[in-house]
Amino acid sequence: MTPLLFLGIALAGGLGSTCRLYLDGVIRSRTSGGMPLGTITINLTGSFLLGLITGFTANQLLPDTSQMILGAGFLGGYTTFSTASFETIRLMQERRWIAGGINGLGVLAATALLAGLGLWLGSIP
């Protein structure tokens, strides 16, 4: 890895984190209730985009360096496994079993499906 590529990944990660913070704030300000809709939206869109970028790279529509900067950098900063885990545990501690199950297992399944859809769409010649 070159120093320039490292810098690009780091800057993209910072930008992804900033976008996550902004989007989560916008969603929280427009919704009510106990479901963490901001985190759910961020992880769903991030998984789809990572699949799409991976498909484009596999199809040689994007260079490997772009996948590293956009996938590992931007989307690595944008998506958040730790916050999703924390929010699932919080819902369970509040004895909101259905909401916790949807947030934990439902979002896990949905992100995997969306990543697969993105990969499939990105791989279409």
74-108 pLDDT tens trace: 999 999 999 999 999 999 999 999 999 999 999 99
Q: What is the pLDDT of residues 52-70, one digit of tens each?
A: 999 999 999 999 999 999 9
Domain count within the chain: 1
Is residue 31 a part of any domain in this protein? no
What secondary structure letter does DSSP report for 106?
I
Is residue 105 a part of any domain in this protein? yes
Instruction: Please tell me whether 106 is known to bind a ligand.
Output: no
Residue with tokens 């499939």: 120
| Closest C-alpha to 67, from 124, 18, 110, 122 | 122
Is residue 26 a part of any domain in this protein? no
Instruction: Please tell me whether 116 is known to bind a ligand.
Output: no
Q: What is the pLDDT of residues 21-53, one digit of tens each?
A: 999 999 999 998 889 999 999 999 999 999 999
Structural domain range at position 49: 36-123
Name the CA dihedral angle for 10, 15, 17, 21, rounded to a multiple of 10 degrees: 160
